[in-house]
Structure 1
């Protein structure tokens, strides 16, 4: 039986965490929040929501392990709780809460598929972000035969068993390399892809916007990720499917 829960990884998300979770609970009853070693106390802003929302679960990780690690821990809990799918979304309010039911409905109709959000940017979106992701999308498109239209947008629905299997088979995909690499490896494992447009809202610092992306550190991580995937893709082309753990 299809069961989907919204998974929100959070690291020092401040007041945006409560507003995001409250908005999700207004459209979907099942939410798991994974606080990834947060030190700002933002998870405590959710405590009063728990009595009124039986489907809300909060997992606390004592050390910051990265987005991929937070998603893995939330996914493992969700599997044990009987869920079959997770919709992941960021805690910073950029992802479209109103699209949650439509994405889950599409996933229910094709449960073996990845349902990937394709961002629709507003005029407030930084041009550096828009153009910076184009190269990644070109490379990921090549590695997946054009199946993935956007590899960096974290608003998406995953079949849980395949997601957990791919993550547990690799020591990578724990930081900002999670979103692009996991979809490539799931496609290589045979998951079909459904791409669905979704609006993006950017908040600047004055509006409480938060970004933990560090351009030097995390772009270096993404470069090494693309090198791993390109070598695996070449091995796939020349010698058959690459090993999942490569």
Structure 2
């Protein structure tokens, strides 16, 4: 691949992870790629920590801030558009809380260099830190994703370690609605597959957060995710002839 066709950068959405973000950022910087931190309207402690980190790593870490907390999906969308507007071709999304092992990055890079138009998705290999209730509950989403895509192309739609081709993804976001909060990670993948986008799944090591902070709002986010699955199911029904025909053609 021509180097100009592959200009990746890390994208890390951050909301009140002032205790974990230093370690996460420093591990990402070891790979000598630019890192975009998107502050999703964090409180002062995290906001000031991010400013300090951006100043300390000036030229390597870039910081943008949303005026108010708008959700993980909104932060990722803002970051994706910022990176594309600044000449990057791919975004490597990781979570701020340290649950992703950045040492898995070479697998993503190798897959992307072989097929630059493919969206690379991590599927978790959990250690003993994972809460069993979360481990089992996420399978409900897996089943819905398999139903709504009429395929098993996506092994795990909830893992936040992934590599996006920016041009195609920005076009998708311009043309299709996609959730702004915890529903984003799943919905963006389903819609990508609907549009004929290719995906590659790579195993990644996942542990549960360094700072123990979760921003999953049990009521709000479960409602949003339920509405998302309902919306996607109706969308699948409309698209099912094309999805089935695509499978038949191979």
- Kindly indicate whether residue 103 of structure 2 is the aligned counterpart of residue 103 of structure 1: no
Once the two structures are superposed, residues 124-165 of structure 1 have per-residue CA deviations (whole angstroms, 9 ceiling, x without a partner) of: 210111011101101112222110000101100011122222
> Does 143-152 or 52-61 show the bigger shift?
52-61
1:89 counterpart residue number: 94
1:215 counterpart residue number: 218
Say if 2:107 and 2:202, in contact at 8 Å, map to a contact too.
Answer: no
1:77 counterpart residue number: 82
Q: Compare the two structures and name the one with the higher helix fraction.
A: 2
Mapping of residues 1-246 of structure 1, within 5 Å: 1-46=5-50, 47-48=52-53, 50=55, 52-144=57-149, 145-203=151-209, 208-238=211-241
Give the count of matched residue pairs: 238
Distance 2:68 2:205 in 1: 32
SS of the residue 1:15 aligns to? coil
Distance 1:43 1:192 in 2: 37
SS of the residue 1:41 aligns to? helix
1:244 counterpart residue number: none
Distance of aligned partners of 1:149 and 1:223 in 2 relative to their CA distance in 1, 3 Å threshold = same
Say if 2:17 and 2:97, in contact at 8 Å, map to a contact too.
Answer: yes
Q: How far is the alpha carbon of 1:41 from its aligned partner?
A: 2.8
List runs of 5+ in structure 1 lacking aligned partners. 242-246
Distance 2:243 2:146 in 1: 19
Q: How far is the alpha carbon of 1:209 from its aligned partner?
A: 1.3
SS of the residue 1:7 aligns to? strand
SS of the residue 2:20 aligns to? helix
List runs of 5+ in structure 2 lacking aligned partners. 245-250
Distance 1:49 1:61 in 2: 16
Say if 2:8 and 2:91, in contact at 8 Å, map to a contact too.
Answer: yes
**TM-score under structure 2 normalisation?**
0.89
User: Pairwise CA RMSD of aligned residues?
Assistant: 1.8
Distance 1:165 1:64 in 2: 24
Distance of aligned partners of 1:220 and 1:105 in 2 relative to their CA distance in 1, 3 Å threshold = same
Distance 1:94 1:50 in 2: 25
Say if 1:29 and 1:56, in contact at 8 Å, map to a contact too.
Answer: no
Runs of 4+ in 1 over 4 A off after TM superposition: 238-241
Q: How far is the alpha carbon of 1:44 from its aligned partner?
A: 2.8
Say if 1:20 and 1:92, in contact at 8 Å, map to a contact too.
Answer: yes
